[in-house]
Structure 1
C-alpha cells in the first residue's frame, strides 16, 4: 500500500526547511556583518555537499539496502550540525556548522525520491501529487516567517528552522522501506547509461539550469530588501513562485500525457532565459517582478518533474538511487555551487542586474545543449514523441 501521507509529510517538512532557510538565512548572515563573498561561500557549501554526499550515500544505499536508515541518520545529523549556528557568528564556526549540516542534509532527497518512485511503482504519474506537499510546506514556512520577521529579531530564523528540522527527524521514522522494481533494463551499468547522448545532454542542461538559479537562491531576498521592499513582501514573493510551482505540479500528469518530457524541459529553459533578465532589470517595477516569480512554475516546477521523470526512466532498477543522486549532484550540487559562488563575486563587481543576466546566459546555454543533445526522435520517454 502506498504510504501517501507519510511521504507527503516528509516532503512538507523537508521543503519547509528550504522555505525558512533559503530566503531568510542570508538576511541573518547579513545582519551578522558577513560580506557578500562570505555569504556566497557559506551558502555554496550546500551545493558543494550536494556534489559529494549524495553519490556516497546513494552508493551505500545501493550496497547495503538501507535507504530509510540513511534518511533517518541524515535528519538527526542535520539537526546536530544546524545547532552550531546557535553557538557562534564567526565565519569559521559558521563554516564548520554549515559543512556538517549540508553533508548530511544533502543525503536525504535523492533517497526519498527513489523511495517515492519505488512505492509508486506503475503509478509514477502520481509523484506530483505527493511532491506538491513539499511546495505547500515551503509556502507555509516562507510566508509565516516573512510576516514574523517584520516584528521580531532576525535570530528567529534559527529557532524556526531548528524546529522544522526536528519535524523532518520525526517524519523520517514513519517512512517504510520499499523494494525497487526489477526490470530488464536494470542489467545496464551506470557507465552504459551515461554513454547515451540524451542522458549526458539532460545532466549537462540541468547543471546549467541550477547555475542559472544561483544568484536567485543566494541574493534574491537581499536584492528585494535593498530595493526598498519589506520582509513581509519578500515572503509573499517567494510564496507566489511556489504557488505557481504547486499549480504546475498538479497539472503535470495531464501535461506529461500531452507533451514529451523534452518539450516540457525546453519550454522551462526558455522561461528561465526570460525570467532572470526580468528580475535583473525590473527591480523598480513590482508587476515585472511578480510576472518573473510566476515563471518559477516553469523554471522549477515543470522542469524538476520532467527532469526527475527522465532520470527515473533512464536509471531503472538498482540504478535508481544512484541516478537520483547523480542528478542532484550535477544539477543542484555542481551547478548550484557554480552559480552561487560566481554570483558572490559578480554581485559586488558588476552589480545585481548583470549578475541575474548571467543567469539567463546559463539558461540559454542549457536550452541549446538540451535541444541539440536530445533529439526529438529519441524513444523511451513519456508523452508523445
Structure 2
C-alpha cells in the first residue's frame, strides 16, 4: 500500500504544483491587478474554510470516504479545463470559488486515510507525504518550461490531466470504517475544547497562511529579483524537492527532539526565511538556499498533521483533519492572499514577504504555550 499511496500523492500534488505557483503570473498576463489576484485566491480560501469541515463530517458520518474523494477530484478536474476558456475577473472569481469547494476536500481526506493506515503499518506519514512534495516540485518545473514555450494557459490542462489519472487509483485505497457512532456536534465541541488542538489551529493559521501565500506570490518576487518564468519552475523544483528528504526523516527528528520542538524549530526557520526574502536578495541566493523550504515547510506539513491527528478522537479523525485544514490552513490562506494582494498594490512584493514574516512570528507564540504549559508535563524529549 506504500507504493500506491506514494503514486497517489505524486499525482495529486503534481496537479496542484502545475497551476498554483504560476497562477499569479497567468492572471497578470491576462490583465488582472494585485488586488484582483488576492481576491480570487482569498475567495477560494474562504470557500475551503467553509467546505472542508462539511466534507470531513460527510466522510465520518456516511463512511463513504472513497466515493466522496472520487466525486470531488472528478469535478475539480472538469472545472480546471472550463476555467482555461475565461479571462473576465468576475467569472474567474466565481469559477475558482467552485473549484476550491471540490478541490479542498482532497488533501485532508487522503491525509486522514494515510494517517489511519500508517498507525497500523511499518512506515510513517512522512515516508508517504514526501511524494506529494516530489510531485509538486516536478510539476512546477515542467509547467514553467512548458508555460514559457506554449503559454501559461497550459497549467490548467496539466492540472486536469493529473487529477483524471488520480481517479483510477482511488478504488484500491483502504476502506477503514469506525465502529463508533459519531456524535458530530459533541465531537467537534470536544475537539475545539482540547487546548493543544485549538492552539495548533491558531498557530497554523498564522504560519501556514504565508506558506500558501508564498505559492501564489513567489513568481512575482522571482521576476522582481530578475528571474524568468522557467526560473520559477527551477526554484520550485528545488524548494519542493527539498521537502521530500526532510519529510522522510521527520519521524526520526520528532523521535529525537519531540514533535512540538520540531514545530517550533521549523516555524523559526520560516520566520527568518520570509524576513530575508523581504530584504530583496538576488534570485541566485534564493536558489542556493533552497533547503530552507524543506527545513520549514517540509517539517511543518508532516508534524502539524501528526499533532492534529494525535489530539483527536479516533472516531473524529477525518473531521479533525478537515477542521485543521480549513480553520488553520484555509483561514490563514485567506488573510495572506487577500492582504498580500492589497500590500502588493500599495507597496511592492518585498512588503508582502515582510508581512509573511510578521504573521509567522505571531504563529510561533501558540506553539510556545503548547510546549511550556501542556507538553512540559509529558516529559517530552529535548
TM-score class, shorter-chain normalisation, is: over 0.9
Query: Which deviates further from its counterpart, 11-20 or 153-162?
Result: 153-162
Corresponding residue number in structure 2 for 1:108: 106
Query: Which deviates further from its counterpart, 44-53 or 318-327?
Result: 44-53
Query: Which deviates further from its counterpart, 76-85 or 164-173?
Result: 164-173
Corresponding residue number in structure 2 for 1:77: 75
Contact 2:42 2:337 in 1 (8 A): yes
Unaligned 5+ segments in structure 1 are none
Corresponding residue number in structure 1 for 2:247: 249
CA shift digits 1:313-334 (9 cap, x unpaired):
1113111001101110122200
Q: Secondary structure at the match of 1:128?
A: helix
Q: Does 2:344 align with 1:355?
A: no
Corresponding residue number in structure 2 for 1:271: 269
Change (3 A) 1:380 1:74: farther
- Report the count of equivalent residues: 379
CA RMSD of aligned residues (A): 2.3
TM-score using structure 1 length? 0.92
Q: Secondary structure at the match of 1:122?
A: coil
Corresponding residue number in structure 1 for 2:334: 337
Structure 1 position 215, deviation (Å): 3.8
Contact 2:201 2:324 in 1 (8 A): yes
User: How far apart are the structure 1 equivalents of 2:281 and 2:299?
Assistant: 25
User: How far apart are the structure 2 equivalents of 1:333 and 1:222?
Assistant: 22
Contact 2:42 2:338 in 1 (8 A): yes
Unaligned 5+ segments in structure 2 are none
Corresponding residue number in structure 2 for 1:66: 64
Q: Aligned ranges for residues 208-357 of structure 1 at < 5 Å?
A: 208-284=206-282, 286-287=284-285, 289-290=286-287, 293-357=290-354
User: How far apart are the structure 2 equivalents of 1:250 and 1:7?
Assistant: 14
Corresponding residue number in structure 1 for 2:5: 7
User: How far apart are the structure 2 equivalents of 1:322 and 1:176?
Assistant: 18
CA shift digits 1:30-88 (9 cap, x unpaired):
11111111111112233222211110011111111111111001111111222221332
Structure 1 position 214, deviation (Å): 4.8
Contact 1:278 1:292 in 2 (8 A): no
Query: Which deviates further from its counterpart, 351-360 or 214-223?
Result: 214-223
User: How far apart are the structure 2 equivalents of 1:119 and 1:284?
Assistant: 44
TM-score using structure 2 length? 0.92
Structure 1 position 126, deviation (Å): 1.4
User: How far apart are the structure 2 equivalents of 1:221 and 1:207?
Assistant: 23
Structure 1 position 277, deviation (Å): 1.1
Contact 2:226 2:283 in 1 (8 A): no
Contact 1:275 1:292 in 2 (8 A): no
Change (3 A) 1:380 1:56: farther
Contact 1:201 1:373 in 2 (8 A): yes
Change (3 A) 1:206 1:72: same
